[in-house]
Chains A and B, each alone.
Chain A
Amino acid sequence: MTTAAIEVRIPTILRPYTKDAKVVSADGADLKSVISDLDRQFPGLAERLLEDGALRRFINIYVNDEDVRFLGGLDAALKSGDSITVLPAVAGG
């Protein structure tokens, strides 16, 4: 188990992966490694966030309330104490 330094808020639809935990902890220097760490702890979670190695279009990830797409996406640098929020888009046709 790595040092749990970054708080990750999990949306309802993904809580079956986290045994219903709303907030979990993960470690990593960038978003990509945090997602890897999450997937290690909660197998299958990465697949719900990534598609062909990129962030899914209809999943929003925020770092300290900023859309991670504006922070470098998967390469967004993270540090201890950062807070990540995952929210599925509300969208449709």
Chain B
Amino acid sequence: MSLTISRAMVDQILEQSRAEYPDEACGVILGPLGADTPKRLKPMINAAHSPTFYEFDPKDLLALYREVDDRDEEIVVIYHSHTETEAYPSRTDIAYAGEPGAHYVLVSTREEIAPATEFRSYRIIDGVVTEEPVTIQD
């Protein structure tokens, strides 16, 4: 269990997270069905517009799943940012994690570690969080 991701995508997620601060930023990375390879980054709107919560708009969510189906893709990564806390799944992240096949990526842009950031990946299945190594490819 591990996540391999390009530097460009990591940078794009961090950039989005900074741009949407103080709200949490969120999105997905899609890839060919069954390949478990993140290929196409798709930032999503945080419909909650909140520093402590994120949620895809239900309309956007349906459109996303339709698009994924039409293109024979899968949701490889679901990411969001934590703006004040470490990049570890919160209780609500664990409670609502609904994609057992996805890598849940958390980034943290909290001030106390700035300009450094955190970028970590987890599996969240049946309430159990397992961190996995991340390999960033240049």
Contact: A92 with B92, CB < 8 Å?
yes
Chain B CB within 8 A of A46 CB: no
Given A62-B62, A85-B62, A87-B62: A92 in contact with B53 (beta carbons within 8 A): yes
Contact yes or no, A93 B92, CB < 8 A: yes
B55 neighbours in A (Cβ, 8 Å)? 89-92
In this assembly, does A11 line the interface, its C-beta being within 8 Å of a C-beta of chain B? Answer: yes
B62 to chain A: closest residue by CB: A62
Q: Please count how many residues in chain B sit with their CB below 8 Å of the partner chain's CB atoms.
A: 29
Within B16-62, the residues touching A (CB, 8 Å) are 26, 28, 44, 48, 52-56, 58-59, 61-62
A88 CB-CB contact with B under 8 Å: yes
Which A residues lie at the B interface, using CB under 8 A?
11-13, 58, 60, 62, 65, 67, 69, 85, 87-93
- Determine how close the nearest CB of chain A comes to the CB of B11; give it in whole angstroms: 22
* Residues of chain B lying within 8 A (CB to CB) of residue A85: 62, 65
On chain B, the residues within 8 Å of A13 by CB distance are: 98-100
Q: How far is the CA of A69 from the CA of B53 in the complex (A)?
A: 21
Closest chain B CB from A21 CB (angstroms): 16
On chain A, the residues within 8 Å of B44 by CB distance are: 90
Q: A12-B100, A13-B99 are in contact. Are A91 and B62 (CB under 8 A)?
A: no
Q: Is the CB of A89 within 8 A of B62?
A: no
> When the two chains form the complex, which single residue of B48, B89, B100, B101 contacts A91, counting CB atoms closer than 8 Å?
B48
B98 touches A90 (CB 8 A): yes
Q: Nearest CB to that of B63 among chain A residues? A: A65
Query: Is there an interface contact between A93 and B52, defined as CB atoms closer than 8 Å?
Result: yes
B90 within 8 A of A: yes
The answer on a CB contact under 8 Å between B89 and A90 is no
Among B55, B66, B93, chain A packs the most CB atoms within 10 A around the CB of: B55
Q: Would B62 and A58 count as touching, CB distance under 8 A?
A: no
Complex alpha-carbon distance, A12 and B97, angstroms: 12
Q: Could you tell me if A60 and B96 are in contact, using CB atoms closer than 8 angstroms?
A: no
Q: Give Cα A65–Cα B62 distance, bound, in whole angstroms.
A: 7
